[in-house]
Structure 1
């Protein structure tokens, strides 16, 4: 058929070559027929094993052009909002659990370089923007998102990751700057609003008291 998006599975291949395994566990995501994009998005996110990556997908060019989907230059982690919106907009998608892509993980990879406070601050800012983009996407597709609780869950989950980034920072003054920005931009409010489960709210609440003192510091 004329698919908007075709998605495959892949393999993680490590430098040692000893441990090769599927990117999507075979018992959690099985091959599908042709589905509306939002149906596949719900199924994929509900598995809790889905990754928002562009490189496991083939997109129909006319579909991308008609929606004017694009990436913002210089913004990392855009696979997350890109995949979310593409699937909410797509009418015909199909997933195969066949592994057609090898993702090589090695020690010289950019994503495996050790972080410092400056790279952690940059990462936090990128993720704040990603959460704002996800929230805007949810508002653009209210009828579809209403039945996909994971569209809200992923905002809270990624937000929790931002807070973990703060915990990794060593310079107290830089930590104060980025946490104040986190609250001033309304990111905490956005995360809390989208955390609908007791477990997520409990995890966020525990960390709130720890970061709040940085926001309140003179």
Structure 2
């Protein structure tokens, strides 16, 4: 089995991330993993516009991800960030109506290179995101995977944030359903280095 390593998405690793996305046709119709970022004029206009937007957000330090490397090649990633960085989640109105508080971080997208799926890379990416969050001070972390219990088979191409079983294996607990087929999973992540106490952001109305 190869030895996989984790690197944070930064301006120094953006080209590796870009190469991974380009090999996989922009991921989800040229999204470039911008779907969950705040709305702006560039977002959703074109694949090239999404690429430019993602690169700008990374340069400004307001787009985060854990990249999984096989040698020098990035082969998977897990996007994470604060609710302010990633507000545009699926089923947002329902989510806000049932939330008691917002998390410190949310994990919104986990994707693995085509041809490399089924090797456990999604779980490695999730673990990498949790580790990077711990290094940043930890806190309450949410993920929104697919709850596939009772479903015979689901195409891995549509599992944009992994499965409930994978999150449970990585120490997350089920909180509540979200939309049709997704759920909210939560985990309190301890800081890997001492950090001042942080308060949770309040729940805000949609829009």
TM-score if structure 2 supplies the norm length? 0.30
Q: Which has the larger radius of gyration?
A: 1
Q: Larger relative CO (CA 8 A, sep 6+): 1 or 2?
A: 1
Bigger strand fraction:
2
TM-score if structure 1 supplies the norm length? 0.29
